[in-house]
Amino acid sequence: MFGIINFEAFVLAGILLNLTPGADTMYILGRSISQGKKSGVLSALGISTGALIHCLFAALGLSILLAKSAIAFNIIKYAGAIYLLYLGIQLLRSKSQNNLEIEERKTYRINYRKVYLSGILTNVLNPKVALFFLAFLPQFINPDFAENYTPFLILGLTFVTTGTLWCLFLSFFAAKLSNSIRRNYKIKLWLDKFTGSVFIILGIKLAFTKQ
């Protein structure tokens, strides 16, 4: 149907891939533990939105550019690495415990729009995700439909849907465990530092990723 072959196998393989820990998993866990359930959920939705964009790129054939052009690949890669390093440094520069307590009572607010957009950028600026869609999806598409975007979109949306459900579960689970911990500002400060360190490590890892 629609040029898709072995759809059941695709769904099973997709779920197993979703369950495999990766950069997106660490990002969502970091946000959920450090900033709570809402930040975790918005991070998960941002990651899913980024994956959806990659899916559209793959369907339109734009991902082939990343696969064939080292320059395009490196531009996206280093932009993503710099962005992750920026997020990490921002968290490492979190204010001291006393200042945080005062601001929490008065003006401290999490910019949830920024959290969502960060999730999108973190995923979109990872060229490996684009190459994954380009390499994985065609294995389940009839060669006669290789130039038809419909099977790409169906498979991509299926993968994004299962991935979103898993990411939302992760965000709820991590936030539930950390709610009581985050009420202690000193521990929250260290969680911010830990999350920032994770983002920096992910950024460095992405920077050294080869095409």
How is the chain split into domains, by residue range?
Answer: 23-207
How big is the chain by its Cα radius of gyration, in Å?
19
Q: State which amino acid sits at residue 9.
A: A
Q: Are 204 and 87 in contact (CB under 8 A)?
A: no
Distances (CA, A) of 138 to 4, 46, 124: 9, 25, 20
Note the pLDDT of residue 102: 36
Closest listed residue to residue 51, CA positions, set 27, 68, 34, 72: 27
CA dihedral of 158, 164, 170, 172, whole degrees rounded to 10? -130
Note the pLDDT of residue 78: 78
Q: Give the largest CA-CA distance in the chain.
A: 65
Note the pLDDT of residue 47: 92
Report mean pLDDT in 10-residue bins for the chain, 211 residues: 80 81 79 83 92 82 63 71 76 56 48 88 79 74 72 86 90 76 60 72 73 57
Distance, CA of 46 to CA of 121 (rounded, Å): 8
In three state form, how does the secondary structure of the chain look? CCCECCHHHHHHHHHHHHHCCCHHHHHHHHHHHHHCHHHHHHHHHHHHHHHHHHHHHHHHCCHHHHHHCHHHHHHHHHHHHHHHHHHHHHHHCCCCHHHHHHHHHHCCCCCHHHHHHHHHHHHHCCHHHHHHHHHHHHHHECHHHCCCHHHHHHHHHHHHHHHHHHHHHHHHHHHHHHHHHHCCHHHHHHHHHHHHHHHHHHHHHHHCCCC
Helix axes 149-182, 7-19, angle to 10 degrees: 30
Note the pLDDT of residue 141: 77
Note the pLDDT of residue 191: 64
Q: State which amino acid sits at residue 30.
A: G
pTM comes to: 0.66
Note the pLDDT of residue 86: 77
